[in-house]
Structure 1
Amino acid sequence: MSTYYVTRIEEPDFGCEGRPEGQEIKDKVYLKEEITKEETIIFMEDKLLYERDINEGMKVVIDGDGRLQKAEDRS
């Protein structure tokens, strides 16, 4: 399983309308593979990034559902 570093997280810009109620918000997450340095972009639910406390600069892995997990949280 590859390990990545989160290089940047971009949240969608909703302008003056603000965040839409009840709509799932996905952030654009830029990743760099630890060994090959290959860059990848994934989209992940904003709520899950907060719940999993994933921020720029962190070491992560992509789980079986295609979502990020902190690398040190793996079993």
Structure 2
Amino acid sequence: MRQVADWRSSTLFSDAERAALEYAERMTITGQRVDDALFERLKRHFDEPKLVELTAAIALENFRSKFNVPLQVDAQGFCIVPQRGT
């Protein structure tokens, strides 16, 4: 999980994972666009049902972050807690 923030330089992620992470980033950051080149890369790794599911999962997490934060809803499950000295 610690490598997700550095997915571009990390050697831990497959091509499919890199495409999904870029897709998530572009869906999440205002002003970013999912262009045809990225969509073509995604289609090399994911069929249509998987792309729909991936898109829905990313959209749901974006919804949660926009909904929960202003209402101060605490995390109910897994979250990354920085370890001391890392």
TM-score, with structure 1 as normaliser: 0.24
Higher percent of residues as helix: 2
The structure with higher relative contact order (CA 8 Å, sep 6+) is 1
TM-score, with structure 2 as normaliser: 0.22
Q: Specify the structure having the higher radius of gyration (Cα).
A: 2
